[in-house]
Copies of this chain bind each other. A is one copy, B any other.
């Protein structure tokens, strides 16, 4: 398969899942046609490529690292192969590139230069959790991380709950895994009893847990002052996404 010269956005698995479970076989064909990859971490990108195709010759590939340490002025040159008719791939660390990673900066440059951008299908914890929550999928907003400061976080949660009721819009946000339990406790002491919370943890993995309860029901599962064990049993310390809706 000869690939059209373009920037291809290549999703990876969420956690230690089989490639076949979450990526179309077409993605493998695209990957095999690319020699230049923009990646957040070279080591995990190599591991992913070996998982996609064991026979891949890693030494024939060029990797360009793009993370918070990368000087922004180099990024533009990462797309130089395109001018020579060679496709470029952007590989995410988890899930879909350019959703919550620095890949978006390269895509913005590609769009400004009128370079064709082709997104490939893969697992997105945002979409999968909206699907499985039972919440409104016609209107939803993803907010990334909430503020760390406890007062600001509480104020933000109240604001999102108000917007959810006023605009009939599902609200989504994430937290660092080890803080998941604390986040749920803050939600339970802040939100109205009838508001529903969906916790979607380790999506697409063997221990995937996607459950929706009202705040009142969650409060019974995790009473005020509950032990760390109870909290950890209900809210695992794994990548998770929180959704609220009426």
Interface residues of A (CB under 8 A from B): 9, 18, 20-26, 96-101, 104, 107-112, 114, 117-119, 121-124, 126-144, 169, 198, 203-204, 208, 210-212
| Chain B residues within an 8 Å CB radius of A141 | 139-142, 169
Number of identical protomers: 2
Asked if B127 and A96 make an inter-chain contact with CB atoms under 8 angstroms apart, the answer reads: yes
| Chain B residues within an 8 Å CB radius of A211 | 111, 114
Contacts A111-B212, A121-B121, A210-B117 given; indicate if A96 touches B131 (C-beta within 8 A): yes
| Chain B residues within an 8 Å CB radius of A25 | 20, 24-25
| Chain B residues within an 8 Å CB radius of A107 | 131-134
Asked if A138 and B133 make an inter-chain contact with CB atoms under 8 angstroms apart, the answer reads: no
Closest to A123 in B: B121
CB distance from A129 to the nearest CB of B (A): 8
Asked if B143 and A139 make an inter-chain contact with CB atoms under 8 angstroms apart, the answer reads: yes
Choice from B98, B114, B122, B131 contacting A99 with Cβ under 8 Å: B131
Choice from B24, B26, B110, B127 contacting A127 with Cβ under 8 Å: B127
Asked if A130 and B99 make an inter-chain contact with CB atoms under 8 angstroms apart, the answer reads: yes
Closest to A110 in B: B134
Whole-angstrom distance between the alpha carbons of A198 and B131 in the complex? 24
Whole-angstrom distance between the alpha carbons of A77 and B54 in the complex? 47
Whole-angstrom distance between the alpha carbons of A142 and B140 in the complex? 5
Please list 22 pairs of residues, one from A and one from B, whose beta carbons are closer than 8 Å in the complex, sorted by A's number: A20-B24, A20-B25, A21-B24, A22-B26, A97-B131, A98-B137, A99-B131, A99-B137, A104-B136, A108-B135, A110-B134, A111-B198, A118-B208, A118-B210, A119-B128, A119-B129, A121-B123, A121-B128, A121-B204, A124-B127, A126-B127, A139-B141
